[in-house]
Amino acid sequence: MNSLFSQLAVLGSSLTLIFGLMLLWHRSVHAYTTAFAWQSVVLAGIVAVVAYFERDPELYFVAAMLLWLKAWFIPRLLRRMEEPLGAEQELQPYVNTATSLLISGLLVLFAYAVCRPLVALSHLPTRAGMPLALGLIFVSLFVIASRKKALTQVIGFLMLENGIALLAVLGTYGIPLVVEIGVFLDLLLGFMVMQLFVYRIHETFESIDVEQLGRLRH
Amino acid sequence: MSGWLVEFFQIVFALALAPGLVGLIRWIKARLQSRLGAPPWQPYRELGKLFHKEAVVSKNASWIFRFAPYAVSASTLAIAFLVPVLVVPRRLDMVGDLFVVVYLLLLGTFWLALAGLDPGSAFGGMGSSREVTVAALAEPTTATAIFSLALGAGSTNLGAIVVAALNDPWTVLTPGHLLAFAALFIVAIAETGRLPVDNPSTHLELTMIHEAMILEYSGRYLALLEWASWLKLFVFLSLLANLFFPWGIATTLTPGALSWAIVTLLVKLALLAVVIAVMETRVAKLRLFRVPELLTASFVLALLAITSSFLLR
């Protein structure tokens, strides 16, 4: 039974990581949004699996919140942003696609290396997924650092948040509900502020390329 | 004795079924695109026709041009001897493991690329250069993906990997397996020239890869090359089917187990054919410079697969 639990946890974590890697391979905002929505669905699934095996009803609530907020509400807002802004594709990132895929592979290897003592100490059946969650965090940070369009960076940030939530669920079986709700609110507000910024950048420069922000210095 | 007989039967089975598999994929694709389509046994007729036709060889072509079809089909046939199709472990498992399979694949590609260059036509050279680009990126992924399964099984022998997966059905759900499956699927598509990488249904297109190399061939040479490429598809699909979903494959030589293995293999191949046909209907061909990116993605998947199966043992 326990082995089924750990298998499902690791399976879910690798799926979230693959959805994170899709950000590096695709170029259109539409594909990014789809990847983010599916990643959030998988994340909610992992939370529900943990809730089932640990008999923790609070986590079911968290899973439902995740589904509503990250798999439905935020993707809907992102879809709405696609119309005025989505025509701009990520054509020339700072690092090209093939190299960034290889770099993210190395980042996941690095995450495995960093996690080794953590995994060795832990006795949780979900411990095998922790390096993958950390890998997702690294890959999202890399996306934020290597992509030029503001919208891509926002989705990278959202995936970073997903990675942190995944690590919390796998490592501690979820943080208290009050904190969780606070995180959700933070995320929602943060996303709205970022949305506002993206629109302002678009208005000022007729583009969401963050390289343009360099012109603000004058 | 009966072991060798079954071995021989497996090869005949693979050779006989390979054109049918391609025909089936074409037929499903035609149906999905609401065309009537040629019947699934059309490739057999094509083979029959080509074997009866005269082979025209350019006077600029050297012996390489005439030898290549035999080299390509021989290397593909040799792979079919090593890959688990109906029965594991195979008699020839002691002859070669997954590395032999990978290098035999590369040997066929090498001769095909030479044959494309040999008559000196512009298309052939282009096709060869592209094929070698794809092969150079796909070959390490094939080895790495299968190797991540080998780590779990403790042997690089393809038959032993299948037996290990049969003994412990839960390993099929491990992330190492799933990532390796995704990586190997992408590589199989690239190696057999299916849609996002190469369009198998065009004959004259500027971006073709496989067709460009065999453009100069006719008659029995063309028939051999086509048959070899279909056999390659068959071998890759049965490798995918048996390495990742090994249920049903025979471990004893009883007639019951064998017939059950044939039925399950046919079902698995038909399912994979449907998957490929649906995918080929949905996606467009990638631009050529995007192909290396796709193959890099599959290499990263294989790398992650090997990492997780190495570190999570």
* pLDDT tens digits, B77-95: 999 888 888 887 777 777 7
How much is the average pLDDT of A58-82?
A: 87
A156: nearest Cα among A118, A198, A126, A127: A198
* pLDDT over 90 percentage in chain A: 19
How much is the average pLDDT of B134-151?
A: 87
Interface of A with B (CB under 8 A): 3-4, 7, 10-11, 13-14, 17-18, 21, 25, 97-98, 101-102, 104-105, 108-109, 112, 116, 128, 131-132
∠ CA B161-B166-B167, rounded to 5°: 100
Q: Average model confidence (pLDDT) for chain A?
A: 85
**Out of A4, A98, A108, whose CB is closest to B293?**
A98
pLDDT at res. B20: 93
Query: Is pLDDT of A86 > 70?
Result: no
Q: What is the DSSP letter of A124?
A: -
Q: What are phi and psi of A210, to 5 degrees?
A: -70, -15
pLDDT at res. A151: 84
Query: Is pLDDT of A59 > 90?
Result: no
Q: Which residues of B touch A131 (CB under 8 A)?
A: 311
Q: Would the CB atoms of B173 and A11 count as touching at under 8 Å?
A: yes
pLDDT bin (cut points 50, 70, 90) of residue B49 is very high
pLDDT at res. B30: 92
**Residue B87 bridge partners (DSSP):** B250
What is d(CA A160, CA A5) in angstroms, rounded to the nearest whole number? 24
pLDDT at res. B82: 87
pLDDT at res. B72: 94
Q: Would the CB atoms of A7 and B173 count as touching at under 8 Å?
A: yes
Q: What are phi and psi of A89, to 5 degrees?
A: -95, 160
Map tokens 């079809």 to a residue.
Answer: B69
Q: Give B294 to chain A, closest Cα distance, Å.
A: 8
Q: Which of A122-136, B93-107, B157-171, B227-241 has the highest mean pLDDT?
A: B227-241
pLDDT at res. A183: 86
Q: Would the CB atoms of B182 and A18 count as touching at under 8 Å?
A: yes
- In terms of phi and psi (left: phi > 0; alpha: psi -120 to 50; beta: otherwise), the region of A206 is left
pLDDT bin (cut points 50, 70, 90) of residue B18 is very high
Q: What are phi and psi of B42, to 5 degrees?
A: -55, -45
What is d(CA A81, CA A28) in angstroms, rounded to the nearest whole number? 13
Query: Is pLDDT of A134 > 80?
Result: yes
How much is the average pLDDT of B138-143?
A: 88
At residue A52, the 3 state secondary structure works out as helix
B233: nearest Cα among B196, B285, B191: B191
Q: Would the CB atoms of B175 and A104 count as touching at under 8 Å?
A: no
Map tokens 């391979």 to a residue.
Answer: A25
How much is the average pLDDT of A176-183?
A: 84
Pick the residue from chain B with its C-alpha nearest to A119. Answer: B312
Q: What is the DSSP letter of A82?
A: H
Contact yes or no for B72/B228 (Cβ under 8 A): yes
Contacts of A24 (CB under 8 A, 6+ apart): A97, A100, A101, A104, A139, A143
Among positive and negative, which fits the CA dihedral B224, B226, B227, B232? positive
- pLDDT, tens digit, 9 for 90 and up, residues B50-74: 999 988 888 888 899 999 999 999 9
What is d(CA A168, CA B299) in angstroms, rounded to the nearest whole number? 29
Helix axes A177-205, A74-85, angle to 10 degrees: 10
Q: Would the CB atoms of B179 and A14 count as touching at under 8 Å?
A: yes
C-beta neighbour count of B306 within 10 angstroms:
22
What are the tokens at A30?
Answer: 């539409």
Pick the residue from chain A with its C-alpha nearest to B310. Answer: A112
Q: Would the CB atoms of A13 and B175 count as touching at under 8 Å?
A: yes
- pLDDT, tens digit, 9 for 90 and up, residues B289-304: 888 888 988 998 898 8
How much is the average pLDDT of B256-274?
A: 91
C-beta neighbour count of A26 within 10 angstroms:
17
CA distances from A150 to A83, A143, B218 (A): 15, 11, 55
What are the tokens at A13?
Answer: 């974590």
The answer to whether the bond into B89 is cis (omega within 30° of 0) is yes
- pLDDT, tens digit, 9 for 90 and up, residues A87-115: 667 677 888 888 898 999 999 999 988 98
Q: Would the CB atoms of A97 and B293 count as touching at under 8 Å?
A: yes
Contact yes or no for B42/B289 (Cβ under 8 A): no
Among positive and negative, which fits the CA dihedral B120, B121, B125, B127? negative
- pLDDT, tens digit, 9 for 90 and up, residues B185-195: 988 888 888 88
Q: What is the DSSP letter of B170?
A: G
- Which helix (H) or strand (E) segment holds residue B109: the answer is helix B98-117
pLDDT at res. B154: 81
Q: Average model confidence (pLDDT) for chain B?
A: 86
**Out of A4, A21, A131, whose CB is closest to B300?**
A21
**Out of A14, A112, A128, whose CB is closest to B178?**
A14
Q: Which of B28-32, B167-171, B250-254 has the highest mean pLDDT?
A: B28-32
pLDDT bin (cut points 50, 70, 90) of residue A1 is very low
Count Cα neighbours of A55 within 13 Å in the Cβ-side half-sphere: 0
Helical segments of chain A, H only? 2-25, 29-54, 57-68, 74-85, 97-121, 130-146, 150-172, 177-205
Q: Which residues of A touch B292 (CB under 8 A)?
A: 98
- Which helix (H) or strand (E) segment holds residue B161: the answer is helix B158-167
Q: Would the CB atoms of B304 and A105 count as touching at under 8 Å?
A: yes
pLDDT at res. B45: 93
pLDDT bin (cut points 50, 70, 90) of residue B1 is low
What is d(CA B196, CA B43) in angstroms, rounded to the nearest whole number? 22
What are the tokens at B247?
Answer: 């249920």
Q: Would the CB atoms of B303 and A105 count as touching at under 8 Å?
A: yes
Least confident residue range of A57-71, A168-182, B47-61: A168-182
Q: What is the DSSP letter of A72?
A: I
* pLDDT over 70 percentage in chain B: 98
